[in-house]
Chain A
Amino acid sequence: MSALRSWFARLRGVFDKERREKELAEEIEAHLQMHLEDNVDAGMTPAEARRQALIEFGGIEQTKEDYRSRVGIPELETVIRDVRFGLHIMRKRAGFSIVAVITLALGIGFNTAIFSVVDSILLRPLPVKYPSQIMLLTPEQRRGVFSIHEYLEIEKQTPDIFSGLIGYEDWLDGVTVNGQTDRSMNSYVTGNFFSVLGIEPSLGRLFLPSEGRVAMADPVMVLSYSCWKSRFHRDSRIIGTKISVDGHEVRIVGVAPQGFYGVNSWVNVQGYLPIGMAPITGDVPDNFVANRTFRGLTVLGRVQDGVTLRKAESALGIAARQLSHEDPRDEEDLTLAVFPELTTRLGTPGTAVRVSGLFLGLGALVLILACLNIANLFLACAATRSREMALRAALGAGRGRLVRQMFTESILLAAAGAMLGIVLGWCGGAFLSSVNLQTDIPLRLEFSFDWRVLSYALAAAVVTALLVGIVPAIYVSRGELGPLLNQSGRYTMKGWRRFRNAFMAAQVGGSLMLLIAAGLFIRSLTKAQRANLGFDPDHVLNLTMDPLLTGYNKVQGTAFYRNLLDRVRALPGIVSASTAFSVPMGYTTIADTITIERNPREAAHQDSPSSYNVVSPGYFDNMRIAIIRGRAFTEADDEHAQHVAIVSESFARRYWPLVCPIGQRFKMAGDPQHFCRVIGVAADARYKGVTGSIGPYLYVPFAQRPWDDSWETLQVRTVRFPESMIPAIKREVDSLAVGQPIWDIETMNQGLYTLSGLLPFQVSADLAAALGVLGLILAVVGIYGVVSYDANQRTHEIAVRVALGAQPKAILITIIRQGMLVVAVGLVAGLAGAFATARLLKHFLIVSATDVATYLAVSTTLALVALVACWIPALRALCIEPAIALRHE
């Protein structure tokens, strides 16, 4: 206990030193005075008395020194002294300090922004109780969704494994409040959703376990906090009021707490309804609870304490076998897998690791370059301070002390850089979250800073401080400081030249790698933009709507679009118009399992999935997709006629390689009552991804669509600018259906920039370009700094040479040649590095990762820039008057 007390007393003493030292001096003087008086009393002369007193006292300075070392905490005091001195040095070298801090801030800030993105989507746990217990269940054979029956069976079979099993489906609904309809992403959840997740309402109540079991029986709704805030202005009287969802009336019973956004880290769910209400979306059949073939439920489970993943998997294995046994046709060889929710954020765990790895890797490279820059400049400065260091050593500072001093400076720079970097990173994150993903879906892109991001920034700062400080520190600790005191202060320490050059080469190499990456990404983008898509997207306007949201049923919806197309086609300035469910590269896609009707003697074909589109007559003509066999849809292919379909080239090639596809029949699993007859073959068009192989695709007429809602995108080809026709088309829509909301209004070209289309290329190219520019700036600053410093150190030597008759031009060439030699080494290293890591970029590019043209172009550019960066400082050094240089000692 006394040790702790002592420590606190000493801590106080650090700040109280002056006063205490003064008091001690007074105390000692009083002591000596008293002793002196006693001695005089004992008979000594005053002079002798004083002498004796002093002898008996011992060394006064020694006492003071002992006292001093005990009154405070010496280690803390040296640190404070170091920091004070470091700040003083930084102020003196203001120019260098500012450049260094900004460079470091850029490096740290960039890294922090990237990490905050990665953190927000991939690392942050769900906003629920004990999020590490939440697991995702998924069948291995198909898309990871279940039917209600399967969900209930699994729940029944695994009571020891899961303390609760929840299910949910997300749908985009039209929510009408006071006559105004807006699109809203709602989650249809099982009754135990909130209780299993441990969520408490912020207003009203949440769902009861009984709600949702019977279809359409519980028309209640829970709002998300953000929806309550933005749409209802936090009105506490909304509990009990009724609003309309997809034309059906529901009653609001509660509001979820702030910060809860559902169980999907990508999406901002606006409201929750019981799963029983799902049929109102129009995409779920009325009998879906009993219907074992309808699967749309994503299932999560909370594991009980002590249950391992293996135990859960084996229990699920039993449940799967049970389901297979019960329903061998539908559930053949069912295998259930379970993963911790956190690992499933970006689809497969592999993709998440790859993407975040790429960006973090690039960021680390930038940071290292920035550090090299600063370290190099530091080294240069350290050389000029060698005299000061020698002096300090002579005065008794140990090597450890000098090393600590240098590290303090680098830590101060890193700290300042980190603080500025965090601000920059925050701005960067805000910018990234404003990137337009070309969709109305409320994607959750909040890149706020939490403890993880801040610790990452801190770690980056520490690493930076170490990297920056370590070389000058070694320099100082190994140098022979004695001889320095005798020199004229122009000591450059030849051995360290090599180190500086190595740094410069590393910088050039690193910058080259960044620039090559940038070049490759940009080339990928241009290639993607010029890809042949199979249709003509120019001069086309897309408008998306769904009359079901305002209560139209299937028949009314069909009539609505028929009338709308007639009217729009009649407008001046319109070339053609059609509607489609999916637009190329759009987020709205659908697929179904196809069963080909075969001759009984032919071998049975496996049921295969195929993506498809639901289009109006005139689609192929409008999109300029060629019909290479048969015919396109007409008005005659309506709901009363025989069901027909048009298949793509790839589809025909796969299923009927030898016979003519026209007249062949197949069934779609989602519409088992009808056979579809093939009446035409369309040329392949790209709907998903601008590169890679095209899968089979088919088209069915809108009037024969196998579902109830009428979600379609109106696609209008215009004579002039598509945007100019927006008001006219809106008027037509409104005249047919008042208050009908329209969204995603954009040109087809704009619509190509989605996550499945050109957007990833665009974003990567932008990011890589920014990185490349940053790397280039760092390299230029580095080269300029080093060459400039070298030249300055040698003005003396240069002046002597000039005085002895050497040509200035020859000296210029020498300096430049020496600099460019280092640059050349760096370029070679960079090329080698780029080659070696080319494999890593393969996944993100559609050009070869070792594209020679790009490598050559980038290297040449960097070499030229480096040349200029060597030329200018050399020139400036030469311009100094020889007389001045000779005099300057």
Chain B
Amino acid sequence: MADRTDVWQGTLALMILKTLETLGPLHGYGIARRIERTSGNQLSVKHGTIYPALLKLEQEGYVTSEWQVSKSNRRAKCYKLTRAGRKQLGEETRDWKAMAAIVARVLSAREGS
């Protein structure tokens, strides 16, 4: 069974995919800040953990990466969602929502019902 780190890594991956779908191709720093912001700063993610997660997504074929030169003449690695990644995002989102609904039901069950 997956332990806590695995679950966390899974959800982080999900959030990265969502970020890339919404904002398009982005570098690691951008992804990290976006996740922070959209979570309402509730999640304090250590930025460093983004990179191993991005590597895994790349190995699985859900994102691709490319070095690009930004406006301020800086080299940054940009990550882009692939079609497989888009599909995976859709599936995982559905699964997550379904899981959340089930857990909610269990937690709200009254005695005797």
Contact = CB atoms under 8 A, between A and B. Distances in A.
A57 B46 contact: yes
Contact of A56 (B47, B55, B74, B88): B47
Contact of B52 (A3, A34, A66): A66
Given A2-B84, A5-B60, A35-B29, A23 B77 contact: yes
Contacts of A2: 60-62, 84, 88
A33 B59 contact: no
A31 B52 CA distance: 14
A782 to B, nearest CB: 51
B51 A67 contact: yes
A6 B56 contact: yes
B48 interface: yes
A10 B58 CA distance: 10
B4 interface: no
B48 A24 contact: no
Contacts of A418: none
Query: A interface, by DSSP: helix, strand, loop or mixed?
Result: helix
A59 B28 contact: no
Nearest to B47: A57
A9 B59 CA distance: 5
Contacts of A23: 77
B75 interface: yes
Contacts of A30: 27, 29, 74-77
Contacts of A62: 48
A70 interface: yes
B52 A63 contact: yes
Contact of B47 (A6, A24, A31, A67): A31
B59 A6 contact: yes
B49 interface: yes
A3 B56 CA distance: 10
Interface extent on B, as a size class?
A: 20 to 34
Contacts of B32: 31
Contacts of B84: 2
B43 to A, nearest CB: 12
B28 A31 contact: yes
Contact of B51 (A6, A24, A34): A24
A34 B29 contact: yes
Contact of A70 (B56, B61, B62): B56
Interface in B17-48: 27-29, 32-33, 46-48
B27 A58 contact: no
B49 A33 contact: no
Nearest to B67: A23
Contacts of B77: 23, 27, 30
Contact of A5 (B46, B47, B59): B59
Nearest to B49: A58
Query: B interface, by DSSP: helix, strand, loop or mixed?
Result: helix
A28 B28 CA distance: 9
A651 to B, nearest CB: 88
Interface string B73-97: 0111100000010001000000000
A62 B51 CA distance: 11
Contacts of B49: 58, 63, 66
A6 B13 CA distance: 15
A33 B74 contact: yes
Interface in A8-46: 9-10, 13, 23-24, 26-28, 30-31, 33-35, 38
B59 A35 contact: no
Contacts of B51: 24, 27-28, 63, 66-67
A60 interface: yes
A106 B74 CA distance: 64
A26 B65 CA distance: 14
A71 interface: yes
A5 B82 CA distance: 14
A67 B52 contact: yes
Contacts of A58: 46-49
A63 B74 CA distance: 22
A66 B56 CA distance: 11
A70 B60 contact: no
B46 A67 contact: no
Contacts of A6: 56, 59-61
Contacts of A31: 27-29, 32, 47
B13 to A, nearest CB: 12
Contact of A57 (B48, B60, B75, B88): B48
A500 B32 CA distance: 61
Determine which residue in A13, A38, A56 has the highest number of CB atoms from chain B within 10 A of its CB, and name it.
A56
Contacts of A70: 52, 55-56, 59
A431 to B, nearest CB: 54
B46 A56 contact: yes
A126 B88 CA distance: 56
A24 B50 CA distance: 12
A710 B27 CA distance: 100
B75 A26 contact: yes
A658 to B, nearest CB: 96
A753 B23 CA distance: 92
Determine which residue in B46, B59, B75, B88 has the highest number of CB atoms from chain A within 10 A of its CB, and name it.
B59
B58 to A, nearest CB: 7
Nearest to A37: B72
B82 to A, nearest CB: 11
A683 to B, nearest CB: 90
Determine which residue in A3, A27, A38, A71 has the highest number of CB atoms from chain B within 10 A of its CB, and name it.
A27
Contacts of A13: 59
B60 A63 contact: no
Nearest to A26: B75
Contacts of A28: 48, 51
A304 B4 CA distance: 62
A33 B48 CA distance: 14
A400 to B, nearest CB: 22
A513 B84 CA distance: 69
Contacts of A33: 74
Contacts of B48: 28, 57-60, 62-63
Contact of A27 (B28, B60, B88): B28
Nearest to A27: B77
Nearest to A3: B60
B61 to A, nearest CB: 5
Contacts of B29: 30-31, 34-35
Interface string A551-562: 000000000000
Nearest to A20: B55
A26 B62 CA distance: 23
Contacts of B46: 56-59
A30 B58 CA distance: 19
A196 to B, nearest CB: 56
Contacts of A3: 60
Determine which residue in B55, B56, B77 has the highest number of CB atoms from chain A within 10 A of its CB, and name it.
B55
Nearest to B61: A5
A95 B88 CA distance: 59
Given A27-B28, A30-B29, A59-B48, A71 B60 contact: no
Contacts of B58: 9
B9 to A, nearest CB: 10
A34 B27 CA distance: 10
A493 B33 CA distance: 60
A595 B32 CA distance: 108
Interface of B: 27-29, 32-33, 46-49, 51-52, 55-56, 58-62, 74-77, 84, 88
13 contacts: A2-B60, A2-B61, A3-B60, A5-B59, A13-B59, A31-B29, A34-B27, A38-B33, A56-B46, A57-B48, A70-B55, A70-B56, A71-B55
Across chains A and B, which 3 residue pairs bring their CB atoms closest together, nearest first? A58-B46, A63-B48, A9-B59
Given A5-B60, A6-B56, 16 more contacts: A2-B61, A9-B58, A9-B59, A9-B61, A27-B51, A27-B77, A30-B29, A31-B27, A31-B28, A31-B47, A34-B29, A34-B76, A56-B46, A57-B46, A66-B49, A66-B52
Interface of A: 2-3, 5-6, 9-10, 13, 23-24, 26-28, 30-31, 33-35, 38, 56-60, 62-63, 66-67, 70-71
